[in-house]
Structures are given as C-alpha cells and as structure tokens.
Amino acid sequence: MSDISLSPRGERRLTQKLQRLFWRLIAVLPDRPYIRWKYFSMAGRFPDLERPRLFSEKVQARKLYDRNPIYPRVVDKHAAKALIAERAGAQYVIPTYWVGRDLQQVDWSAVPLPAVVKPTHASGCGVFLRDQGDIDRLLAEDPGPGWLALKHHRINREWAYGAFEPVIIVEKMLVENGQAPDDHCFFVFSGQVSHIEMRLRRNGVGYECNFTPDWQRMEHTSGYYDAYPGDVPRPERLDEMLEVVRKIAGDSDFMRVDLYLANGRVQVGELTLYPGGGFKGCVPDAYDERLGMLWKQELPHRPG
C-alpha cells in the first residue's frame, strides 16, 4: 500500500476540515468552555483567560469580559461608516447605494455597477455584481433570508456582532487595474500602528505578507495564507493611510482598521475588534507574545 502524502496546502485544508467538525460538536457549550476548547483545537494549549499574555488570549478575554457599548457600532458594517466619517472624514467611506432587508425591493436600475452586496454582521458572505446577469442570479438565489438568519456572533462567540439588528447593504465595489484592490490591515494599539498585514491575490491565489509602518518586510504571518514570495511596493499614500487609522482607532486599546487604495484614493473597508476570532494565531508563535505585550488591555467586566 503506497503512502499518501499531501502538500502543505493540502495538509492545511484537511486540518481545517477536521477542526470545523470538532467546532460543530462543541457548539452547544457556553461561551467560556467553547472558547477554551476551540482555542485548544487551534493552538494545542488552553488560553489563559484570567491573566492573558498573548495577543490571541487577549482577544478571547475581550470577547468574554469587555462589553464596551461602542463595540456594536464599530463592527456593524453599516453603522461603522458614520463612525469613520466622524473620526476621519466622509471621503474615506465607501459609498452605500441601498440598505434594507429584502433584496427583491432594491431598485437595481439606480445601483451603479460594479457593486457589492453583503450583510452587516458577518464576514465571507458578500456577492460581487458586475453586470445584469449577476443581479439576476442574486435575485434568483436570494441569499438575504439566510444571511439575516445567520447567528454569526455564535461562531467565535463575538458578542458585539449579536448586539445589533443586521441588515443588508449594497455598496460600491472598489476596482484597481480591473481587479479587487489589495487589503491593508492596520493593527493599532492605543494609537500606535504595530504592523500592516497585507492580503493580496495573484493568479487566483490568496497570499499574505506583513510590514512595519515604515514598510520594512516582516517575517511573521498569520499562517492562514501562504507568505507572498514577491516584492510589494510601498503604497503611494501610506502616510495618509497611517493618519487615517490613527484618527479612527486612536482611543481604543486595540483595533484593526482595514484600508484599500483604489484609483489613488484611500477607503476604509471595515473595523475589526476580534481578528480571526483570536484563533488565527501568528507564525512564528513568538509574534503572538510580542503583539500581546503591545496591547495594554483593560477588562472592566469579569463575571463572578
């Protein structure tokens, strides 16, 4: 019998499938034990939730103990637009064409294409609309009811996503050189940017690479995507991008601000309080500790 070998990408996909099966089995657990076991399945150890030291542990502690009333507004993809405009300026907000709950009620003749359709409380659920055929398929499949019924906050126990009424938005689709622009994820700790996580697609494959604020390549990755092997030039508006994220996230002990640079304009994609649910980690692990040291976390709420 011949040995079966998998590529690193294949091994990662198999591991992810087994993990998802385990998560479904433990989904009935209350938040704290669910978080502990899900973290264990990813990291091979239980998180310290009482005295968190690692970045990934502090994300878990924030989910369990920090009930800052502004958090739902931050993570709501519609409400966050007003917050972004207040703090940085309306010019950085991606235009919204429609907000509602029933896609059948949209006046599609008034929606400029290309556009994006997505729920305001979940990730990974968007649909790109480039022509009338895409609109026809969207209306035929009508994912809206399923999106709105999704209990996204239960997946990683991120309470803020369950603290507002979800809706669906149709917004402008950003395009750079005929394709979606690269995603610049700025990690901001008390107003200081630690690094920029770049997510990019080349030839249909997703990659990741990380840079310091002065655009020096860093060795760590999240481990979720392969490291991009090529060079990435410094964004032409990097200084402006850094200023924008500091204005938006300056009063938070930690926030991730995702920016796009398309057609020479800086636009804010979304704001994130729980990157990867705190389960994504860092490769190498030492960077999880380094980011944890940068996060001067205060936890106002601890149940007895």
| Same-domain pairing of 183 and 72 | yes
The pLDDT value recorded for residue 19 is 87
What is the reported pLDDT for 79? 98
**225 and 102 in one domain?**
no
Amino acid letter for position 260? Y
Same domain, 162 and 191: no
Select from 125, 153, 172 the last residue of a domain.
172
Question: Could you tell me if 65 and 53 lie in one domain?
Answer: yes
Same domain for 78 and 213, yes or no, is yes
What is the pLDDT at residue 225?
Answer: 81
Q: Is residue 14 part of a domain?
A: no
Q: Examine residue 16 and state whether it is found in any structural domain, yes or no.
A: no
Residue 190 and residue 246 share a domain: yes
For the purposes of burial, counting CB atoms within 10 Å of the CB of 62, is it exposed (0-12), middle (13-18) or buried (19 or more)? buried
Predicted local distance difference test score (pLDDT) of residue 1: 46
Judgement on whether residues 163 and 244 belong to the same structural domain of the protein: no
Query: How many whole angstroms separate alpha carbon 160 and alpha carbon 67?
Result: 8
Residue 211 has φ and ψ, to the nearest 5°, of -135, 150
Residue at 253 is within a domain? yes
Give the number of domains in the chain. Answer: 2
Give, in order, the Cα–Cα distances in Å from 62 to each of 52, 157, 185, 264, 295: 10, 11, 20, 36, 11
- Are residue 82 and residue 193 in the same domain, yes or no? yes
What is the residue range of 142's domain?
95-172
Distances (CA, A) of 45 to 18, 195, 297: 17, 26, 22
Token pair listed for 91: 């010019």
Residues 154 and 276 in one domain: no
Domain assignment present for residue 30? The answer is: no
Inter-residue contact 117 to 168 (CB < 8 Å):
yes
Residue 142 lies in a domain: yes
293 shares its domain with 240: yes
- Ranges of residues in the chain with a pLDDT under 50 are 1, 304
Give the CATH number for residue 186: 3.30.470
Asked whether residue 131 is domain-assigned, the answer is yes
Residue where one domain finishes, among candidates 113, 144, 172: 172
Residue 3 within any structural domain of the chain: no
Of 116, 142, 172, the residue at which a domain comes to its end is 172
Considering the domain architecture, whether residues 155 and 296 belong to the same structural domain is answered as: no
- pLDDT of 3 reads 58
The whole-number pLDDT of residue 189 equals: 98
Position 19 in a domain? no
87 and 75, same domain (yes or no) = yes
What is the model's pTM? 0.92
